[in-house]
Structure 1
């Protein structure tokens, strides 16, 4: 793709990077075949190729974002299926991130949109605030039919049981069981702590059982993804910088063998920290952290499961977009579940998004609802007893309508290697006495 940025424009590192990305695009359109929003809406401007043209025009002209461009960029899930498909290696993720930052700086959204984004940025990255918001949403549920779509989507997010602060919310070091083979930092996340803290508890049990000393570093918090995808660069970089400093302190102290992440949306962002801090004084530490970042499935594949003894349940694996496309981790979770003893299935069109996509199901509930219905239909075709996923957003999205327990891959691996049965499986009667029918 030809570009016409001026020499003055190209002195901006963000523009120079976007110029390189744009010039790598050859207009082939392969990305349209795997773009969920294009499949739902059928509009070229709601495909990666169409959005690339809109972004190019906006950035080259140096003009403020307009309503049309904002509408189509907002509809992008950032599922990154286009990057997996692209034969030319177009780094769409960095391009759309730049576009969102430009939109945030130059476009004044309607008041309801501004208010929602402000609210989400002030609540979701903070577990204490999020718990209070979930409690309020739970109380408002009887009135959901009277609410507009976005507010109704927020109310639907609230789980039946809201967990309070847990023992893993504070900085600490949890010793390995037996000889220490690795020392790892665990990212405990933000929204996940409020929505399902048992995921972190299962991850710690799994890691310590396999010889890992687990560090929950002082000063660690939200990865920054939630605000990053809203174009709020200053807020997202502040969150990311706090994590970089927290983990760099551990690296410079007793050292770390890995930074373990069990929320794949966070993992995609942490692995990009080196890029986010390019040219910043924190760049060197950010690159050290990013190089050590591992999804829990990646690390467990390296370690190997000790004496797994899972029941032969039919487990359908849902591959989160941020894991399969953002991190290119596709086989490790399935191989681990099979090695544990589960009967692993995969749905048709596994590359397509479920519609969660961070805050997407709150900001674009109609499109997210259609993608959810399509994903649930393909999952149901496999007749699962359990659905496994590696991202809390996907779990919450699919849990409303799946008809079977939706649990984290780490919870199943913990159970298979000596941990407790996940609560949702026990409630469904799927304990060790039950095998696949």
Structure 2
């Protein structure tokens, strides 16, 4: 795509990156066919190709208005278009640049500014979000249906193993996940413990940076990333083998630290190392498949009765380009795993999208749940807390993380104490 940057962008890092991305686009339109918002709205400007044109116009000097901002806001950033694109256009990066430029020129209505500020300031801070979530859980029966669907039912975490294995990996606790689904990380630690690996949480690590960064507080998001690097670095130097991600949204972001901080002289090298060490939990456990099969099937004969619908999050299959690992691992231990029709499409969660674009998000959830129910499965599992919470808000069918299922099955060989609730995670 021929591009002539306006003078104010020509020598900037974001302008140069955007121009390189735009020149990869060949106008083919394959991306439109797999764009969820285009499927719902049927508007070219609510598909990747149309949004690319809008961003190109801004970079060439056109003055954006509220309409441009709206079309960019409506994008889920699911990055399905990146999987579809034959030219390798990095649409997600271009969208971040475009949104940043447009928001600098277009003033949002007061209600939008207030909502975005609230999300930026509350969600990444676990010390603020946790008491608010507890209050919401206590008041849950009295809340309006729309708000009640956003408040997770109280759920205890199981025991955190205290084994002290020689092999150690880091685990990102996250910001909202410990309050909404505290058992996910505890279950992960128990599974790794059974494999002879200790998972360690760095107390000062927190939000991965995605929330602020994608709500156009890019400076705040980068600060979150630097804080995590500082928290992890001594443990990396001490020999931690990997940084394990149980939320694919966080994993997709941490794997981009090296790129996002490449111009920061103090952090570029460390950020690249952190990104290289970061692995989704499925990437690591696939290397232990035989051991897990022995643990679950060899000793207990478990798994055969489970019919599970797996919803692969967009941040896993498109953001990280990881497909088939979770399904393959669960099937290897004897679980009947089913993918729904159009499993490549977004469920509508998309981070804060379900809060900022509730109508579109709700339509996508209805479509996704209808397809998941049609599989005939007994429960739904996913790999990202946002997807789990969003889907659970629209169905009575149990929705959880796939690692919790693996933990339940493997705990039968470890004894009932391994899954007992109520133990606090050290340092969390």
Tell me the TM-score normalised to structure 1 length: 0.88
Greater RCO, 1 or 2 (C-alpha within 8 Å, sep 6+): 2
* Contact 2:189 2:199 (8 Å CA) reproduced: yes
How far is 1:274 from its partner? 0.4
Name the residue aligned to 1:225: 210
Q: Is the 8 A contact 1:104 1:230 kept in 2?
A: no
State whether structure 2 residue 103 is matched by structure 1 residue 104. yes
2:180 counterpart residue number: 195
Partner of 1:213: 198
What is the aligned partner in structure 2 of residue 275 from structure 1? 259
Counterpart in the other structure of 2:424: none
Look up the match of 1:358: 351
1:259 and 2:252 equivalent? Answer: no
Aligned pair count?
406
SS in 1 for 2:308: strand
Q: How far apart, CA to CA, are the structure 2 residues paired with 1:137 and 1:102?
A: 36
Query: For 1:305-347, what per-residue CA distance to the aligned partner results, in whole angstroms no more than 9, with x for missing partners?
Result: 2422333210111100000000011111001111121111110
- The CA deviation string for residues 75-120 of structure 1, in whole angstroms up to 9 with x for no partner, is 0001000000000000001101111222333322101100000111
SS of residue paired to 1:407: strand
Question: Does structure 2 conserve the Cα–Cα contact (< 8 Å) formed by 1:46 and 1:76?
Answer: yes
Q: Is 1:245 equivalent to 2:230 in the alignment?
A: yes
Q: Aligned partners of 1:192 and 1:72: how far apart in 2?
A: 30
Match of residue 372 from structure 2 = 379
Contact residue 189 and residue 198 of structure 2 kept, 8 A: no
What does 1:169-184 align with in structure 2 at a 5 Å threshold?
174-176=162-164, 180=166, 182-184=167-169
Are 1:311 and 2:295 an aligned pair? no
**Partners in 1 of 2:240 and 2:349 — Cα distance?**
32
Q: Secondary structure at the match of 2:60?
A: helix
Q: SS in structure 2 opposite 1:388?
A: strand
1:332-343 aligned at under 5 Å gives the runs 332-343=325-336
Counterpart check, 1:390 vs 2:379:
no
| Alpha carbons of structure 1 residues 67 and 50: separation in structure 2 relative to 1, 3 Å | same
- 1:14 to 1:360, Cα distance in 2 relative to 1, 3 A: same
Kindly report the root-mean-square deviation, in angstroms, between the aligned alpha carbons of the 2 structures: 2.2
| Deviations 1:250-304 (CA, angstroms, capped at 9, x unpaired) | 112x212110000000000000000110110201000000001100011000222
Distance, in Å, in 2 between the alignment partners of 1:93 and 1:115 is 25
> Which sections of structure 2, spanning at least 5 residues, go unmatched?
417-428
Q: Distance in 1 between matches of 2:176 and 2:11?
A: 38
Alignment of 1:75-86 (within 5 A): 75-86=74-85
- Whole-angstrom CA distance in 1 between matches of 2:78 and 2:329: 24
Residues 296 and 366 from structure 1, CA distance in 2 versus in 1: closer, same or farther, beyond 3 angstroms?
A: same
Displacement of 1:131: 2.4
Between stretches 260-269 and 201-210, larger displacement belongs to 201-210
C-alpha distance in 2 between matches for 1:162 and 1:339: 28
2:337 counterpart SS class: strand
Name the residue aligned to 2:45: 45
Instruction: Work out the CA distance in 1 between the residues paired with 2:394 and 2:74.
Output: 23
The question of whether the paired residues in 2 share the 8 Å contact of 1:163 and 1:195 is answered with: no
- What is the rounded CA distance, in whole Å, between the counterparts of 2:224 and 2:159 in structure 1? 22
Matches within 5 A, 1:319-330: 319-330=312-323
Q: Deviations over 1:222-273 (max 9, x none)?
A: 0011111111111101111111112222112x21211000000000000000
Moved more, 129-138 or 257-266: 129-138
Residues 1:299 and 2:284 are matched in the alignment:
yes
Distance 1:275 1:174, change over 3 A: farther
Report the Cα distance in structure 2 between the residues aligned to 1:421 and 1:18, rounded to whole angstroms.
Answer: 55
How many angstroms does 1:163 deviate by? Answer: 6.3
Q: CA deviation at 1:136?
A: 4.4
Unmatched segments (≥5 aa) in structure 1: 146-151, 423-437
Shift of 1:5: 1.2
